[in-house]
Amino acid sequence: MNPRRKKRLLITSSLIVGLSCAVGLTLFALQQNIDLFYTPNEIINGKNETGIKPEIGQRLRVGGMVLNGSVQRDPDSLKVSFDLIDNQAGQITVYFDGILPDLFREGQGIVAQGTLKSSNTIDAFEVLAKHDEEYMPPEVADALKGMDHLKTEQYK
């Protein structure tokens, strides 16, 4: 083999090995920061496509509706627990210690981020409340009232 080709092959293979190591180390470092999204049913029964269930201690995000009558608040602290449901009869309990968002209420859709403590219990460190997609601030609705070509009745 020509010495020039040997040098090119060595440089190319070194670059490929170095790039592979860099990508591998990056993915390993980010592994703890990846939060996968689950529904309550997927936490209990596993993902629909693969059947893979989250492991206890895994960081994740879960989204669902707050079950009516399930919110329990500790009178001496900010601790709160509530049940999340989805449309497939999955139900899990979320424990949270902190200030809940203003839009949080029973029957409302939320996303909780935390760690899985047992097969149906999550210890959340962040709770986000979803708002209605048709929401419009009152100022914008007032500004649109004078425009005849828009139906503003739905925004009152």
Q: What is the pLDDT of residues 25-81, one digit of tens each?
A: 988 887 766 667 888 888 888 887 778 888 888 888 888 888 889 899 999 999 999
Q: Give the Cα-Cα-Cα angle 86, 88, 93 (nearest 5 degrees).
A: 45
Is residue 137 domain-resident? Answer: no
DSSP-derived letter for residue 120 is: T
Is 92 found in the same domain as 113?
yes
pLDDT band at 154 (very low <50, low <70, confident <90, very high): very low
Is 43 found in the same domain as 116?
yes
Domain total in the chain: 2
> What's the token pair of residue 10?
């060595």
In 11-58, where do the E strands start and end?
A: 36-38
Is 28 found in the same domain as 39?
no
Tens-digit pLDDT profile for residues 86-137: 877 778 999 999 998 888 888 888 889 999 998 889 999 999 887 665 655 5
pLDDT for res 23: 93
The residue range of the domain holding 10 is 3-32
Rg of the chain over Cα atoms, rounded to whole angstroms, equals 25
Tens-digit pLDDT profile for residues 4-30: 999 999 999 999 999 999 999 988 887
Is 40 found in the same domain as 28?
no
> What's the token pair of residue 28?
């390993």
Is 12 found in the same domain as 50?
no
pTM: 0.66
Q: Could you give the CA distance from residue 64 to residue 112 in angstroms, rounded to a whole number? A: 9
Is residue 20 domain-resident? Answer: yes
> Which residue shows structure tokens 């470092």?
29
